[in-house]
Structure 1
């Protein structure tokens, strides 16, 4: 019998050598957050995003009542903070989730960098909430809203102009407040949004309707005396804040007696998107105007009521082709 010259048994596969994670537990929570913020700033994130990180960390810092060591950060502490926000502070689920997402990003960074031992971000998750659907205003409600604004005062005149431009261009309030007079081209009918001032960090051009061109032309003439290139300013020529305009919008909504609907800049963005589609606009051009890379986001902006669908069906029914 012929003798085998080699072993037919398969060799045992050697496992990969797992390297132990190097963990530096010498840092405090504040020191870790300062490093986290440095990295985020180096990624050229929007100023608002950086500000949100600082504000939301501040809420957690107030809860723990001072700085703590890396060893003292536990999943139990994070869950206690969530319970505190929900049951003691009575915050809305959407608000809680905003703060949780910020902390999760921070915890993920700390674990990846080796500042904490456990991946707390995998266990510390947002709570499930019903999808937030923003009800758009009706054309009648928009007309009433505009009618309650007294244009004889600059602030009110400015706000009315902003409402019309928000409806027409569907830009975000943060983007609107960063528009400079030089960004407005009334001849071509476009506004240039600078990349560092948009949420997506991409520049885009939004078109203006003939009505908006007329409104902005009058507004630019009325505000020539301001010594600032920013388009929308306070009475004394300072930069207008989004919160100030949001408060004004709420007040106008109360005067117009618009109930059961949120009257806000974001509602105007949704309203403009719905009006655009109802007037025959296509979703692809709407996507570009809104500045979304994903069509699924556009769908969220178009919340049609049964009456909206009925009107569209009456206009575009297949049977209309038989007339």
Structure 2
């Protein structure tokens, strides 16, 4: 027997539809509607992909395609317990999946697919405050020391490290930079709205040292004729995986085993150094491209040694009586 295609009245202005749900609608069908809606929000492809991935995790736990009438709050509570205790996932990972599924179920309730606001009763779990790793100046010098910048790819990777530290860009933003986004004379890189996580264009400044390296690198790669800034050895746009792998390999060669050598660690490090050197958190927020100051606070977590060093420089007593 062919399944009847359910007809429903879509909610207006975000309010719950007043039409009673009469026909069965499967979890898959509801999710298809949800993703059709999310695609109208101009989200980044990566964000859309994560919704699909997290939905597959939920389906894998449930083991079957449920209906709008059979899904319950207990299903989601059991799923959270399964992730925490059976899979032993970190609370931060669990919370990412919870947030995407809450958005999905909230949509189902708003659209009238389900009768109860299940999303209001399962929320992110408490997670210990994450201490973000950062490099020391010695670490960075070690990394640069193992790079053979006589090679074209080695020099490129050296420039990448300088740009990551100087601009605090995300890896997705780095590989999307085009040559015409770089203003060497003005001393900045313009990140296009379509390439940023927040879908907002922003300008990131460059130091004199990085400008000098970029100028040399751009001259060396000019003959490739490619629009992108960072290229593979044969002149094509470099991808995120290649940058991550190269940095990981340099970390092993440099003997840095106590922290992850990744693009994101450079972002944390650059943010911390910015504040340690006297930068204010408000300009840092703009450079990082964060809309929420709480995220900036996470990026500038200091070690006890960092705090002591800062205190010695700015101690109220020292400012009055001298050191």
Under a length normalisation based on structure 2, what TM-score does the superposition of the two structures give? Answer: 0.85
* 2:207 equivalent in structure 1: 209
Q: Hey, what's the Cα distance between the residues in 2 that align with 1:234 and 1:131? A: 38
Q: Hey, what's the Cα distance between the residues in 2 that align with 1:78 and 1:31? A: 18
Q: How far 1:321 sits from its partner (Å)?
A: 5.7
Structure 2 unmatched runs, 5+: 1-16
* 2:127 equivalent in structure 1: 129
* 2:41 equivalent in structure 1: 43
- Correspondence for 1:114 among 101, 112, 121: 112
* 2:181 equivalent in structure 1: 183
Change in CA separation of 1:180 and 1:66 when aligned onto 2, cut-off 3 Å? farther
8 Å CA contact retained: 1:24, 1:116? no
Alignment of 1:244-283 (within 5 A): 244-283=242-281
Q: Hey, what's the Cα distance between the residues in 2 that align with 1:99 and 1:92? A: 11
* 1:30 equivalent in structure 2: 28
* 1:93 equivalent in structure 2: 91
8 Å CA contact retained: 2:18, 2:112? no
8 Å CA contact retained: 2:229, 2:237? no
* 1:290 equivalent in structure 2: 288
Q: Hey, what's the Cα distance between the residues in 2 that align with 1:72 and 1:226? A: 58
- Correspondence for 2:143 among 131, 142, 145: 145
8 Å CA contact retained: 1:24, 1:114? no
1:169-195, Cα deviation, whole Å (9 max, x unpaired):
111222112111110011111100111
Aligned pair count reads 305
* 1:8 equivalent in structure 2: none
Higher deviation after alignment, 180-189 or 303-312: 303-312
Q: How far 1:59 sits from its partner (Å)?
A: 2.2
Q: Hey, what's the Cα distance between the residues in 2 that align with 1:87 and 1:294? A: 31
| Helix, strand or coil at the partner of 2:76 | helix
Q: Hey, what's the Cα distance between the residues in 1 that align with 2:172 and 2:70? A: 38
8 Å CA contact retained: 2:105, 2:118? yes
1:132-181, Cα deviation, whole Å (9 max, x unpaired):
12022111111112212233444443332211101001112221121111
* 2:9 equivalent in structure 1: none
Q: How far 1:106 sits from its partner (Å)?
A: 0.6
Under a length normalisation based on structure 1, what TM-score does the superposition of the two structures give? Answer: 0.85
Change in CA separation of 1:274 and 1:31 when aligned onto 2, cut-off 3 Å? same
Q: How far 1:42 sits from its partner (Å)?
A: 0.7
8 Å CA contact retained: 1:24, 1:115? no
| Helix, strand or coil at the partner of 1:71 | coil
Q: How far 1:81 sits from its partner (Å)?
A: 2.8
8 Å CA contact retained: 1:25, 1:70? no
| Helix, strand or coil at the partner of 2:204 | strand
- Correspondence for 1:232 among 230, 233, 249: 230
| Helix, strand or coil at the partner of 2:190 | strand
Q: How far 1:236 sits from its partner (Å)?
A: 4.4
How much is the aligned-residue C-alpha RMSD, in angstroms? 2.4
Matched, 1:82 2:80: yes
| Helix, strand or coil at the partner of 2:222 | coil
